[in-house]
Amino acid sequence: MNTKENTKSFEEEQRRIKETVSGIKHRIAVFSGKGGVGKTTVSINLAFTLKSGGFSAGILDADITGPNVSKMMNVYGDLIYLDEKIIPFEKHGVKMISMASILKKGQPLIWRGPVRSKIINQFLADVEWGMLDYLIADLPPGTGDEILTISQEMKPDFAVIVTTPQEVSVIDAERAINMAKELGIPRIGVVENMSGFVCPHCSAELDIFGFGGGSKLADENNVHFLGSVPIDIQARVSGDSGEPIVVEKPLNGVTTAFAGIAGRIKSLYEENNSKS
């Protein structure tokens, strides 16, 4: 393919991405400064909470080399094409696309940054997302190429930073906040995951990873604190079985926490709209 053809192909892809983004009302990028803080758990349960509130929602798994969304939704299968568009997978009305859905189990993806970014572009340009109220991008930890691509192409209007109360996690989450600020994302909020554990036998509450780190982080960086999510064994069981806890256990404390987080996100959008 010569330079002229490359330019034409790029321009056509950009046109399709712009068309996709124009049909999505709100675009949320879920960040974490480090792995293991529950970023995918937050992404999935937030999407299903918004869906239960009457909103259309989708999840774009942007962690190309370490995708976990498919496992936690128990959604796999061959891609379906219709009129040259990829039809996203769907569970309980939430749309989803992920590399893990189309890879053999255990297959590694040893790809450089530009190739990973190209896949994200395809997820935006060639997936038939339709009209959505919310599209949530589950980003890889750190500050890699995928995050820059999502920022440039999906144009998120809300960054959700996931941390645990633990000091080392909070330090890394601060970097994620500053990256979101540098990328010009207009709304930034912090979710403190794994915030306290209630013993199922004696009901004693234990702050295994500390307490209040997320709230303090938000205050110190002048961003919104969206809420805390407690540790719950059932959340892990639900994730492993591919059935989000907010769907499987509607009266659970984790479900209540996500309802509060979703409510604050909606309020921040509405607050901004009332000012404009």
Domain spans in the chain, listed from the N-terminal domain onward: 22-275
Q: What is the CA angle 167-168-169, rounded to 5? A: 90
pLDDT value at 248 more than 60? yes
CA 1/CA 9 separation, integer angstroms: 10
CA 42/CA 258 separation, integer angstroms: 8
Distance of CA 167 to the CA centre of its chain: 23
- At 113-127, the pLDDT tens digits run 678 888 899 999 999
CA 220/CA 159 separation, integer angstroms: 17
- At 77-109, the pLDDT tens digits run 888 888 889 999 999 999 999 987 776 666 665
CA 42/CA 191 separation, integer angstroms: 8
CATH homologous superfamily for the domain 22-275: P-loop containing nucleotide triphosphate hydrolases (3.40.50.300)
pLDDT for the residue numbered 1: 57
- Report pTM: 0.91
Q: What percent of the chain has pLDDT over 90?
A: 58
N-term to C-term CA, the chain: 46
Q: What percent of the chain has pLDDT over 70?
A: 87
Q: Cβ contacts of residue 183 below 8 Å, gap of 6+? A: 147, 148, 151, 159
Q: How confident is the model at residue 234 (pLDDT cuts 50, 70, 90)?
A: confident
